Amino acid sequence: MNISIKIDPATGQKYMAVSEKGRALLLNPLTNKGTAFTNRERDELDLHGLVPPAVCTIKQQLERTYENYLAKTTNLERFIYLSSLQDRNETLFYRLVLDHIDEMMPVVYTPVVGEACQKYSHIYRRGRGLYMNFGQKDMLEKLLINSGISNPSIIVVTDGERILGLGDQGAGGMGIPIGKLCLYTLCAGISPHSTLPIMLDVGTDNEDRLKDPLYLGLRQKRVRGEPYQAFIDAFVAAVQKVFPRTLLQWEDFLKANALHQLKRFRDKLCSFNDDIQGTAGVIVAGLFSALRITGKPMREQRVVFAGAGASAQGISDLIVSAMMEDGLSHGEAIKRIWTVDSSGLVTKARPKLEDFKATYARDVDEVAAYKCQDRSKITLLETVENVKPTILLGTSGTAGTFTREVVQLMAKINDRPIIFPLSNPTSKSECTGGEAIQWSDGRAIVATGSPFAPVTHNGKRYRIGQGNNAFIFPGAGLGISAGSVARVNERMFLEAARALAAKVTPQDLSDSAVYPELSRIRECSLSVACATARQAVKEGFANEEILEGLEDNLHQAMWEPKYLPMRYER
């Protein structure tokens, strides 16, 4: 079916032109209004008899769908219900979630999407996006054409190997690109007509999935090495040929693959990795906000990471950029960051270090003066005791990493310690928001990667700000796609972080929250989009002409979940 948004020259009103009539309109989630089709539309589009006679408003439909949502007894059932609603009526789905964003975002994405990915083969209802498996490596262009989308604005792709903190989920990882693109639409108004989720299925090493008789993916061990890279190269080449103007976002690849693909392709097409760059942007935005509370400049911070994965690398590199803008040299900035992994503090005494760890590894002479039990495995607690950091960031994916002793020591060292347990889903968080507040006697400035309820301590209410990538990547995607940006780099995410931090109000800070409330996320996304586009022009990645009327143009480009009048046009 051909679908296009047009403007009536006589009235100036937007309408949706469709090339088919009747049941086809009800079966397509982009055209289905259900009981909201007007009598005129029912006449013109041959819909009489296909829907009940009552003509409902979207408000009445929302009342009905929310009632059904509340009737579900588990979060997974709520996820399935919302997914089914999205599959039959995109507009109603987005309007419902937008009206209840605080309640429903954790259901449509993290943490509930993690459980949905684990059980994907058992809850599968209807195909969405593209499944491209290794055996189809010679027909990737045809598969892209099969999507039915002529010019997608954004593609999100995964190979399912590192789904949140849950590891290899194989084909079940498709839940992540679907959910991520849902947030692009929900938070920044990227039209659902123009998004494409893709699962690159190269097998799975998850024995539970391979043994499951209902598993929907390629039933083999993961393809690795040169054959894997050749498949990825062929995929990128197909995207460049079929969709040369799309933004390609990499999502939930294993750390080594994530870093390698970003480095391999970042200068060849419009592409970024949200786990690395989007996470960095949102966390640095939270740090900018936290420093408004402490009153200390970025160049004076001492940062300890618990965890040394891809997200830690992205955050570290962006912190270094922020410190350099605040007056430090590159070498001085690097020296203000320490990383602790499963083997302890990363030092230059280790025989083999990957590039990221080598960059931030501490000198042997430095750690020789540390007080510790075993210099070859300096613990997180010992690192905090010796380094005396102002900022503690958790990217370990391991619950309980921030112990009571670690948090209390941070509070002893700092009047207002900055403690961000960032791993998700909730079960993987280094500590809960409540624990960070209670153990620091209410002095910690806390942000988390997963959603946590507000905490009350000594009669004061603390709102736990969520360092949700949805504050950054949807807006960045809007600025990149609407601005026809050719390439993406770190400086664009640093400016996006500044734009988001600027949206944090004095009231937010008085509630101890370093992020805005989710109800303002579209407003935040517009600011992020403008900042991203402006920086793209400065970097030479976009034409200067996009700056004229930029904010109004980007606002106009944001899709709204509202029913448009529909007309049949052959």
Q: What residue has token string 């598993």?
A: 215
d(CA 560, CA 66): 19
Can you spell out the DSSP letters for 506-558?
A: HHHHHTT-SS--GGGHHHHHHHHHHHHHHHHHHTTSS-GGGGTTHHHHHHHHS
**Exposed e or buried b for every residue in 494-529, given b needs 16+ CB within 10 A?**
bbbbbbbbebbeeebbebbbbbbbbebbbebbbbbb
The answer to whether 556 and 484 are in contact (CB under 8 A) is: no
The answer to whether 337 and 319 are in contact (CB under 8 A) is: yes
d(CA 218, CA 406): 44
SS3 content of the chain, % helix, strand, coil (to 5): 50, 10, 40
d(CA 421, CA 427): 12
User: Residue 118's CB: how many other CB atoms inside 10 A?
Assistant: 21
Q: Which two tokens stand for residue 196?
A: 């494409």
Nearest Cα neighbor of 433 from 394, 473, 459 is 394
User: Residue 476's CB: how many other CB atoms inside 10 A?
Assistant: 33
The answer to whether 178 and 198 are in contact (CB under 8 A) is: no
Whether the bond between 425 and the residue before it is cis, its omega within 30 degrees of 0, is yes
**Residues across the chain:** 570
The answer to whether 20 and 45 are in contact (CB under 8 A) is: no
Q: How far is CA 488 from the centre of its chain?
A: 16
d(CA 75, CA 202): 30
Can you spell out the DSSP letters for 287-320?
A: HHHHHHHH---GGG--EEEE--SHHHHHHHHHHH
Q: Which two tokens stand for residue 321?
A: 């950029």
The answer to whether 383 and 415 are in contact (CB under 8 A) is: no
**CA distances (Å), 343 to each of 374, 381, 395, 445, in order?**
11, 13, 15, 27
Catalytic positions, please? Answer: 109, 180
d(CA 273, CA 202): 19
- Strand-strand pairing, 337-341 and 344-345: antiparallel
Instruction: Look up residue 311 and give its amino acid.
Output: S
